[in-house]
Amino acid sequence: MNGHLLSIADLTRADLEEVLDVTDSMVEVSSRAIPKVPALRGRTVVSLFYEDSTRTRLSFDTAAKRLSADTMSFAVSSSSVNKGESVRDTIETIEAMGIDAVVVRHRSSGVPAQIASWTDAVVINAGDGWHQHPTQALLDSYTIRSHRGSLDRLHIGIVGDVKHSRVARSDIEAFTKLGARVTLVAPPTLLPPSTSPWDVAVSHDLDSVIPTLDVCYLLRMQRERMTEALVPTLREYTACFGLTSQRADRLPSDALIMHPGPMNRGVEIASEVADRPNAVITEQVANGVAVRMSVLFLLLGPGRAALPPLDTPAATVTTTLDSGETK
């Protein structure tokens, strides 16, 4: 993987597997008593978030710091955007300070790609409109692989508001490239006008799909993106498409329950179900840090060849991820 990370569509299966393989090393780093290596010392990563975020923003910041990069954080609410400054002028201002990577989230699809045409810095898409959220798909794929060894031939159900979900679009592309069979489960009003670009099945009956799933991936109802009533009521949506306790009981015993967060407990997922042992939602968050470390390392660092063996004692590895040497 090189250049920018704008979309899962830009990555091959080999690219995806490279990120997941390097993530194994980053998980090991994160498990140390002092989870920090100097792999990106001297590099500067700026977070440019035009939309609210908890998990993505904090995990990118943590990932950069664990790799010893310097970080800059941009808050729209206290920036010159409120005085009319354009995205391009903002980018040029920040670039003038000396940066190596921009992690950008924006409510409009295509903004990260546009920024990539304006700057020499690496651009990482942290979510743009309904379009893409590539690092979420990478961390979701890693979480599944860590439990099942591979995504090949797994049946993954993506349930809920597919229409407005950048997570769904990225996950579909990542899961299918990694060999999974994907079924979208939603009312017709919460599906895009066409699913023909994707190699997926579509169902409007969650109860018929539930017993066949290896992974039940639930999506949040994105009411902030809706301009019309797309379901009669939330209660009726939950009755038909929510993962209730009764539905969760009908999942195969080894099936994983996933959600990108934030959850609407009691809507797409019952509160009790979200806390079950096979619900790996907080594990997704933890893996998000390691995956984003992997992405930053591959895009800004010396490359995969510089990684130490996973069995290298933590006390002896201080500069390996930066120089390929130990001391």
**For residues 104 and 121, is the Cβ–Cβ distance under 8 A?**
no
User: Can 8-133+284-323 and 135-281 be said to share one CATH topology?
Assistant: yes
Amino acid at 238: T
**For residues 7 and 131, is the Cβ–Cβ distance under 8 A?**
yes
Q: Given this model, what pLDDT does residue 79 score?
A: 73
Confidence of residue 76 (pLDDT cuts 50, 70, 90): confident
Its pTM surpasses 0.95 = no
Q: Given this model, what pLDDT does residue 313 score?
A: 46
Decide yes or no: CATH 3.40.50.1370 for domain 8-133+284-323.
Answer: yes
Q: Given this model, what pLDDT does residue 22 score?
A: 97
Place of tokens 């299966």: 13
Sheet holding 44-49, edge to edge: 70-75, 44-49, 101-106, 122-128
pLDDT, greater one: 234 or 229: 234
Domain boundaries, the chain: 8-133+284-323, 135-281
The fold of 135-281 is Rossmann fold (3.40.50)
**What letters, b where the CB count within 10 A reaches 16 and e where it falls short, cover 198-226?**
bebeeeeebeebbeebbbbbbbbbbeeee
Confidence of residue 73 (pLDDT cuts 50, 70, 90): confident
pLDDT tens for each residue of 83-100 = 778 999 999 999 999 999
